[in-house]
Amino acid sequence: MNKQNRSTGLPANAEGAPLNEESKSNLILDKKLSRRDMLRLTGATSLGLLLGGGGVGGIMAARNAVAEPTVTSDADSIPFYGSHQAGILTPAQNFIYFAAFDLTTTKLADVKKLMQAWTTAAASLTTGSLIGNVNDNPNLPPSDTGEVDGLNPSRCTLTFGVGPSFFDNRFGLSSKRPTLLADLPAFTGDNLDPKWCGGDICVQACADDLQVAFHAIRNLARIARGTAVLRWTQEGFQRTGTADPKGTTPRNLLGFKDGTGNPDTTNEAEMNEVVWNNSSDGPSWMSGGTYMAVRRVRFRIEVWDRSSLSDQEATFGRYRHNGAPIGAKDEFDDLNLKAADASGKPVIPPDSHSALAHGDGTVKMLRRSYSISSGLDIATGQLDAGLLFISFQRDLMKQFVAIQQRLSKSDRLNEYMTHTGSAVFACFPGIRKGGYIGEALLG
């Protein structure tokens, strides 16, 4: 009878070493296993069952455990490999499933293995292929959880980054932490809840189908078991392409268009100025990467719904029906902050959200936000709904922090919202074929 390895709880050979994959398969074929034997064989715990079993130290760690993605010409597939990560300049998909992870290992080698396994899995997930090559064996747990089997990729993108805590003393990487990567300062009016803050690693999964985005995070979490655990997650949405075939600017849950003032993502020179790091900005491993700011914002919807339309428009500094600046006709007309009415009063209130976010127009960032709804807050009887604000910028302090400090002090919108979550991450440059996520940092 096979022994059990004490450190892993897995079946072992006569010397007490864990069985290799071939031996496990032979064991399954030699005798009919009970459910308990099967769970012990795969190292499944109650969490492992929920997430589908397997991890970097288990099924997904083997080189042949994750199959290469199926080559597809599907227009719904966005390339995973490239000079920059997808999901940043990519036109926003309909849904997001954002996840922050905490590492549970203190070994850099484990982190490398995780990133290598995630890279191979991500290349499959973004092409609509099932992960792994054991999805048809009735005697083994499937290597993919299967809920997207038969679905197209739905323009799925996966964007990876690391937070300031990644560079503590655990992995000997403190000297490689960019000076531009630091926890955000406290802002006036913050009401942050630790359960929505921080994280060693982030994964932004976006897709035109929420099940596809969920599936990606679920399987990455399953692969990470034993090396990293989920810290917090947030689902988000915007109007779908079906609902708005013209692709107009999405509206937030307050009914106003959100993202009108974004820089032109097709302008390479502007993106190099606003979004992408270069070799002069800091460590070489960040060249081609960017910094992400994430803020979970709760709207006081019930209060907003009792406000007059004129008050709402003065709060945003824009008309609700077409998104145009007050006093203008078109959504994309320039903000004329000097325009005044007959009495000399500014047409656009100086403390409106648009006026303060715009400033003098010299500081920009790329916003990629989604509406959120997490059901009913039982304590208040109100909806826990609002915005998952995400921005990408070349310099967190000069761009995001500078703008947010203005907004937090005097934005009219502060009456109707509170920031409950906060995190920042350094998003890696693109991944080359044959390489892995964060290779320049970890290699």
Give the pLDDT of the chain (443 residues) as one tens digit per residue. Answer: 444 443 334 444 434 444 444 344 333 333 343 433 433 333 333 333 333 344 443 333 333 333 344 444 457 999 999 999 999 999 999 999 999 999 999 999 999 999 999 999 999 999 999 999 999 999 999 999 999 999 999 999 999 999 999 999 999 999 999 999 999 999 999 999 999 999 999 999 999 999 999 999 999 999 999 999 999 999 999 999 999 999 999 999 999 999 999 999 999 999 999 999 998 998 999 999 999 999 999 999 999 999 999 999 999 999 999 999 999 999 999 999 999 999 999 999 999 999 999 999 999 999 999 999 999 999 999 999 999 999 999 999 999 999 999 999 999 999 999 999 999 999 999 999 999 999 999 98
Do 76 and 39 share a structural domain? no
Do 163 and 183 share a structural domain? yes
Do 427 and 385 share a structural domain? yes
Listed in sequence order, the residues at least 6 apart from 37 whose beta carbon sits closer than 8 Å to its beta carbon are none
- Which residue, 15, 12, 1, 61, is CA-closest to 40? 12
Q: Are strands 95-103 and 228-237 parallel, antiparallel or unpaired?
A: antiparallel
| Token code pair at residue 201 | 């690693």
192: number of CA atoms within 13 Å, CB side?
15
Record the pTM.
0.84
Do 83 and 30 share a structural domain? no
Contact 234, 298 (CB under 8 A): no
User: In 10 A of CB 359, how many CB atoms?
Assistant: 15
Structural domain harbouring 374? 49-443
- Say which amino acid occupies 200: D
Do 185 and 87 share a structural domain? yes
Question: How many domains does the chain fold into?
Answer: 2
Do 144 and 30 share a structural domain? no
Do 251 and 216 share a structural domain? yes
Do 333 and 213 share a structural domain? yes
Do 101 and 21 share a structural domain? no
Cα Dmax for the chain: 93
C-alpha R_g of the chain: 24
Do 340 and 197 share a structural domain? yes
Do 164 and 87 share a structural domain? yes
Do 71 and 13 share a structural domain? no
| Token code pair at residue 349 | 């209130």
| Token code pair at residue 48 | 């492992």
